[in-house]
Amino acid sequence: MTDDRTGDQLLQMLSALANPHRLRILAALRKRESYVSELARELGIGRPLLHMHLQVLEKAGLVVGRHEISEDGKALRFFRVTDFDEHLTPERVTAAAKTLSADSEPTGKAKK
């Protein structure tokens, strides 16, 4: 996916990228596809935490997962980085802002 993301999708992608664990996950997966246990060991984080971050990245369209059965019968979930190329410019932000849904609008009063 490239610059055709809606405002909501752009916010979701930027939100997913705004976490150091998720940036490290993307960097590790950029090198090669990996399964959850292997990736958790490589990054030094627990599988439940890794799984939560992978779900955020997958929902944002930055990674995709697939299931595979190993030779010994274990179910493995492999992840890889998707091809994405988002260019942030003032024009791109303006166009994305026009497509924001009501759900992404701020609520309440701004702090002074």
Please report whether residue 106 resides in a domain. no
Please report whether residue 109 resides in a domain. no
Which pLDDT does position 104 carry in this prediction? Answer: 67
Please report whether residue 53 resides in a domain. yes
Q: 85, 2 in Cβ contact below 8 A?
A: yes
Give residue 86's domain range. 7-100
Q: What is the pLDDT of residues 64-87, one digit of tens each?
A: 999 999 899 989 999 999 999 989
Find the CATH number of the domain harbouring 29. Answer: 1.10.10.10
Which pLDDT does position 112 carry in this prediction? Answer: 45
pTM: 0.83
Please report whether residue 50 resides in a domain. yes
Which pLDDT does position 16 carry in this prediction? Answer: 96
Which pLDDT does position 110 carry in this prediction? Answer: 47
Please report whether residue 95 resides in a domain. yes
Please report whether residue 19 resides in a domain. yes
Please report whether residue 92 resides in a domain. yes
Show the beta-strand stretches assigned E in the chain. Answer: 34-35, 63-69, 75-81
H/E stretch holding 66: strand 63-69
- CA torsion angle 54 15 27 46 (round to 10): -40
Give 10-residue mean pLDDT values along the chain (112 residues): 78 96 97 95 96 97 94 92 92 93 62 46
Query: What letter does residue 55 receive in the DSSP assignment?
Result: H
Domain count, the chain: 1
